[in-house]
Amino acid sequence: MGRRLNRCTGEFRGDLLHKIDFGGLILHASRFPPQSSVTLHKHDHAYACFLIGGPLHERVGFRVWDHHPRTLIVHPPGEEHEDIFDGSAVCVNLQISPAWIKRNVDDGVMWPERRAFDGGPMFVIGLRLFHFYTQRECGPVPLDVEEIAAGLLFTGRRLMKSRKTPPRISRVLDRLDSDPSTPAGLSECARLADVHPVYLARIFRKAIGMSLGEYHRHARLRLAVKLLTSTHLPVSRVASESGYADQSHLTHTLARVTGFTPKKLRSFWSSYGQVRQIQDNRLR
């Protein structure tokens, strides 16, 4: 039987790896062994968690959320949930106090609900949070963590305004997510949505919060990160499979967006998570 952790209120559980208080923002990381669990608990403050390893299953009320590695999970304050970790995992958390929210948000409201993001701009912010954590020994800069918190807040709230994606937009998302390495034109996407290209561009941005091109770039980066952190493929092969022109193109893009080079991301990820060779017919 796995280890069962005690009930907690407002505090993070697991084996503490790091904790630092930036005055209203707390960076916290903890490790969980395989088959461990945390009984029903709540956190008084809002926080975001970037998951390394897992999977993690969270029970909130009558619903169970299944989270896989490389997922950013945002929790509103006071939410009660239970956690079950199938495999070993590290959670990198950023807790945001009401005082910080009051100073930086006009209406003083954080996320209205919990959400999980395994792609898009919030996924990128999760990678930036992980990068910030890996640089802690270099002397973390409060401005950096505040920029991450601001991104989590404003990007998350904007994305949460759209609770249900229209079917025509979903068809376009399926195309971009399933094959991000293949270029997609506006006309092709418009045919999938069965609307005029100009109209699609407008409604896509309204529904998703970014342009078609931006979403495609995020999908391509997501695939590259997945391959870097779950396989031992050479970086040049990862770049090719993800639709980048070459290894240099991938390295420049990843470093600019997240702060990681492919080598450093793979190295840090293997230190905290598990890199395994996946069986994927498309990659053989």
Residues 8-46 pLDDT 10s: 545 788 999 989 998 889 999 999 999 999 999 888 899
**Which CATH topology does 167-208+210-283 take?**
Arc Repressor Mutant, subunit A (1.10.10)
Question: Domain extents for the chain?
Answer: 4-160, 167-208+210-283
Strands 46-53, 71-75: parallel, antiparallel or unpaired by DSSP? antiparallel
Give me the DSSP letters along 167-195. Answer: HHHHHHHHHHHH-TTS---HHHHHHHHTS
CA distance 139 to 54: 29
Q: Alpha-carbon distance 208 to 177, whole Å?
A: 14
Domain 4-160 CATH superfamily? Jelly Rolls (2.60.120.10)
Whole-number pLDDT of residue 190: 96
Tell me what pLDDT residue 143 has: 84
Rounded to the nearest 5 percent, the helix, strand and coil shares of the chain are: 45, 25, 30
DSSP 140: -
The reported pLDDT for the residue numbered 107 is 72
pLDDT at 141: 66
Tens-digit pLDDT profile for residues 196-243: 999 999 999 888 888 999 999 999 999 999 999 999 999 999 999 999
pLDDT of residue 49 exceeding 80, the answer is yes
Three-class secondary structure of residue 108 per DSSP: coil
Helix (H) or strand (E) holding 144: helix 142-160
For the entire predicted model, the pTM comes to 0.87
* CA proximity to 29, closest of 43, 12, 45, 44: 12
- Residue 278: what pLDDT? 36
| Region label for 114, one of left (φ > 0), alpha (ψ between -120 and 50) or beta (otherwise) | beta
The tokens for 54 are 């897992």
Q: How many CB atoms lie within 10 A of CB 201?
A: 17
- Per-residue DSSP letters for 225-279? HHHHHH----HHHHHHHHT-SSHHHHHHHHHHHHS--HHHHHHHHHHHS------
Q: What is the pLDDT of residue 136?
A: 76
pLDDT over 50 (residue 282): no
Q: Give 21's strand partners.
A: 26
Average pLDDT, the chain: 86
Are the C-beta atoms of 54 and 86 separated by less than 8 Å?
yes
Q: What's the CA gap between 146 and 196, in Å, rounded?
A: 41
